[in-house]
Amino acid sequence: MQKSLFDEAQDAQPVVAVKHGRAPDAVSAHAPDALHQKLAALMPPQLRLGTSSWNFPGWAGLVWDKGYAEARLSRDGLRAYAEHPLLRTVSLDRAFYRPLTADQYAAYAAKVPQHFRFVVKAPSVIADATIRSEDGRGQQINPYFLDPERALHSFHEPANTGLRSKLGALVFQLSPLPASLLARPDEVLERLGAMLKALPKIDPRISDGIIAVELRDPCFLTPELATALIQVLRESGATYCLGLHAKMPPIDQQLPILRALWPGPLVCRWNLHRKHGVYGYEEAKRLYGAFDQIVDADIETRRTLARVVAATTAAGYAATITIGNKAEGCAPRSVAALAEAVAERLQPYDNYR
């Protein structure tokens, strides 16, 4: 019998960390923390935790052995990032701003061990209904919003070709819609369904990756629209991405979508603490500084995520969760705290502390 999202999970199977060699002048990883190694061994093998990008100097002593410039980390830090025992995935958010080529994806894949998986955001030319200026203000309607051909050739094909077995999830994060489309939500869901159905199924012989849809307009979670959204996802074989963001309701109000799609995989992107509003990213950046400490602990979200992870992995499905610095103040520390919450669901705390 399948576990529900509220049941206790079975014992987890250990995972084995894999290290890659590096050039003498490369970014070096911080020496593995003993507790993190123990936690990693307790995590279900289907679970992959990680962060949004890896170019943060403030992670010195957490992920990096010392301080490095942001530009160098962006260019050379991925290999060292993947050596952290708890970091088994990362979100390639840069793909949202400009489509990446298959060669670019392949270059990323070559820097990480076999067990590692990437979460990739669809380019804005597909996932944003508005063409925006550099400051984020909408300028005009995007004619390629949810266009099947663009989705296939600018996103699906290059990501699958380049990442292959290291593809974890292709995420269509739909940016906040303009008023003209919010007034016609059924049309948006129809276009979304048509695009998703037009995309080829990810070949399970090559990759265990999945397609997920993340929203930034809470109106789609109202009963009538949620029913239509669930039908679109079921018919296309896609899943719902838990988007933990100030623009969306808290996690417990999003879980009914997953319950309706149960059983199945979990994809979650925890981007922003709910206390931050419309301009939350800049506010969080100001408050959290170097992103080296948890400033706003969200224990309830961690506990709920741990429960859903335990149920998902016990049922044999993958759970992929990425956390941003602006969720609590320091993404690697948030990952470790979530791993502790998962471990507490799986076995007594004293067994690993």
The answer to whether residue 63 is domain-embedded is no
In single-letter form, the type of residue at position 323 comes to I
- What percentage of the chain reaches a pLDDT higher than 70? 88
Domain count, the chain: 1
The answer to whether residue 331 is domain-embedded is no
The answer to whether residue 325 is domain-embedded is no
Q: Which residues, at least 6 apart from 39, have a Cβ–Cβ distance to it below 8 Å?
A: 85, 86, 336, 339, 340, 343, 352
pTM of the entire structure?
0.89
39-74 residue pLDDT tens: 999 999 999 999 999 999 999 999 999 999 999 999
Residue 6 confidence (pLDDT) above 50: no
- Dihedral angle over CA of 144, 148, 153, 155, nearest 10: 80
Q: Spell out the alpha helix ranges (H) of the chain.
A: 34-42, 70-76, 78-81, 102-109, 124-127, 148-151, 157-163, 179-182, 185-198, 223-236, 251-261, 280-288, 299-314, 325-328, 331-346
The answer to whether residue 191 is domain-embedded is yes
Q: Which residues, at least 6 apart from 267, have a Cβ–Cβ distance to it below 8 Å?
A: 119, 169, 171, 210, 212, 239, 240, 241, 242, 320, 321
Q: Which residues, at least 6 apart from 111, have a Cβ–Cβ distance to it below 8 Å?
A: 20, 78, 79, 82
The answer to whether residue 34 is domain-embedded is no
The answer to whether residue 254 is domain-embedded is no
Q: What is the pLDDT of residue 353?
A: 44
Give the 3-state secondary structure of residue 270.
Answer: strand
The answer to whether residue 262 is domain-embedded is no
Residue 140's domain spans which residues?
89-237
Mean per-residue pLDDT for 232-245?
Answer: 96
The answer to whether residue 341 is domain-embedded is no
Q: What is the pLDDT of residue 3?
A: 42
